[in-house]
């Protein structure tokens, strides 16, 4: 079976193996476009994305899939830090903009910057929605809705599989080490 020809029934098994693999974030960073410091656009052919991303990440990020609700390790997370695109390392959201929406996916009310997110119309499945993509590599993240909390009134409903997270204290240590 072609591991990239995924269907929704395949996702639970792939997601289980993804969530139980402690080296996932390390393997995601072993690609030519992954950087938490570089803001240049990442443009790779589909064949390259297939090689460097885990199958479940590829399915969601590049084929616009959706993970099962309440399956993300970030859904209930209260950790303080920054959420990044798992495909390219682009900073997407600060944890203080994350909120409990009861929708089954990590939700945020505001991206880290205007350039962090690209908005595209999504009229699939008979719905009129706005897709959100990574502003650096155009990976599918999820959708944005106008039913979020103030101050923006927006709810960025994001697939946790395409998120990477760095705790604030770890980021501060790295920053201090690099600037001393």
Identify the pLDDT of residue 178: 64
Higher pLDDT, 26 or 49: 49
What letter would DSSP give residue 144?
E
pLDDT in tens, 131-168: 999 999 999 999 999 999 999 999 999 999 999 999 99
Identify the pLDDT of residue 180: 62
Give the Å distances, CA to CA, from 104 to 48, 66, 76, 126, 168. Answer: 31, 11, 9, 21, 24
Say how many CA atoms lie within 13 Å of 38 toward its Cβ: 11
CB 136 within 8 A of CB 90: yes
CB 95 within 8 A of CB 80: yes
Identify the pLDDT of residue 9: 41
All structural domains of the chain, each given as residue ranges with its CATH number in brackets, are: 8-178 (2.170.150.20)
Identify the pLDDT of residue 151: 97
1 CB burial (10 A radius; 0-12, 13-18, 19+): exposed
Active-site amino acid positions: 157
pLDDT in tens, 8-46: 444 444 444 344 444 445 544 467 789 999 989 999 999
pLDDT in tens, 90-141: 999 999 999 999 999 999 999 999 999 999 999 998 999 999 999 999 999 9
């Amino acid at each position: 079976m072609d591991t990239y020809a995924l269907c929704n029934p395949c996702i639970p098994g792939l997601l289980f193996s993804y969530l139980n693999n402690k080296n996932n974030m390390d393997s995601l960073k072993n690609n030519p476009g992954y950087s938490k410091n570089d803001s240049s656009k990442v443009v790779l052919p589909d064949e390259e994305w297939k090689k460097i991303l885990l199958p479940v990440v590829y399915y969601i990020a590049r084929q616009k899939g959706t993970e099962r609700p309440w399956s993300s390790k970030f859904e209930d997370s209260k950790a303080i830090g920054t959420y990044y695109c798992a495909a390219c390392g682009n900073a997407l959201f600060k944890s203080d903009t994350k909120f409990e929406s009861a929708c089954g996916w990590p939700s945020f009310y505001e991206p880290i910057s205007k350039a962090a997110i690209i908005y595209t119309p999504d009229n699939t499945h008979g719905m009129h929605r706005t897709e959100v993509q990574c502003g650096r590599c155009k990976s599918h993240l999820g959708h944005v809705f106008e039913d979020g909390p103030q101050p923006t009134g927006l709810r960025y409903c994001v697939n946790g599989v395409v998120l990477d997270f760095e705790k604030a204290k770890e980021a501060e240590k790295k920053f201090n080490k690099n600037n001393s």
